[in-house]
A and B are shown apart, each in its own frame.
Chain A
Amino acid sequence: RKEVEQDPGPFNVPEGATVAFNCTYSNSASQSFVWYRQDCRKEPKLLMSVYSSGNEDGRFTAQLNRASQYISLLIRDSKLSDSATYLCVVKGAGNMLTFGGGTRLMVKP
């Protein structure tokens, strides 16, 4: 089983749609999680940390389900500029980041 697993997509959605991505992780001892976004051939950009209680930042909501070992990211009112690859990340010892393969989102006009 991969350490961090994501559906590669692509998810094709119209502008204004709500879209959700899930990510599963294999190490039940993992404590900290982050979402990054990556545009084509660019660096990962921090999107949001994932807190146990769930957290929201504008149109973005992150949730953690420890029992099922998955993290989700919800994007409301999708914009064209949201088109990117969304990377699920598990933080390990020494803050080492383990990345999933990413989920590609394409928002269409």
Chain B
Amino acid sequence: EPEVTQTPSHQVTQMGQEVILRCVPISNHLYFYWYRQILGQKVEFLVSFYNNEISEKSEIFDDQFSVERPDGSNFTLKIRSTKLEDSAMYFCASRAPATFVREQYFGPGTRLTVT
């Protein structure tokens, strides 16, 4: 069964550093998403991406965040200058075109720890 994959599984970084989280969505999916989950809290939407541009973004997704699909397979989330409060699990999700199952499938996540 095809899966969303994410790397790295755990990233430790110092405050102020840039991090790039990587995702490989399911191959025939066209819609891509990033969510985060702070430990003990609910999953929160960050951004959605379709046709090489952002479709929706939340208040969390400020100027420190950016997304990119640099090639046909990868989907990345960049945080330019990390803060302590960016420590969370970051999940990538993807969804097939509307004619197929319309639900999002999540990757295993990247645990980001900012020290």
Contact = CB atoms under 8 A, between A and B. Distances in A.
Q: A and B: partners?
A: yes
A101 B58 CA distance: 18
A41 B43 CA distance: 12
A95 to B, nearest CB: 6
A64 interface: no
Chain B contact surface mostly: strand
What is the interface residue range for chain A against chain B?
A: 20 to 34
Interface string A65-109: 000000000000000000000010000011111111110000000
Given A44-B91, A87-B43, A96 B106 contact: no
B22 interface: no
Interface residues of B, number: 24
Given A34-B103, A49-B103, A95 B109 contact: no
Contacts of A87: 42-43
26 contacts: A36-B106, A43-B106, A43-B107, A44-B91, A44-B106, A46-B103, A46-B105, A49-B102, A49-B103, A87-B42, A87-B43, A94-B48, A94-B55, A95-B31, A95-B95, A95-B102, A95-B104, A96-B33, A96-B45, A96-B48, A96-B56, A97-B43, A97-B104, A99-B43, A100-B42, A101-B41
Interface of B: 31, 33, 35, 41-45, 48, 50, 55-56, 58, 89, 91, 95, 102-109
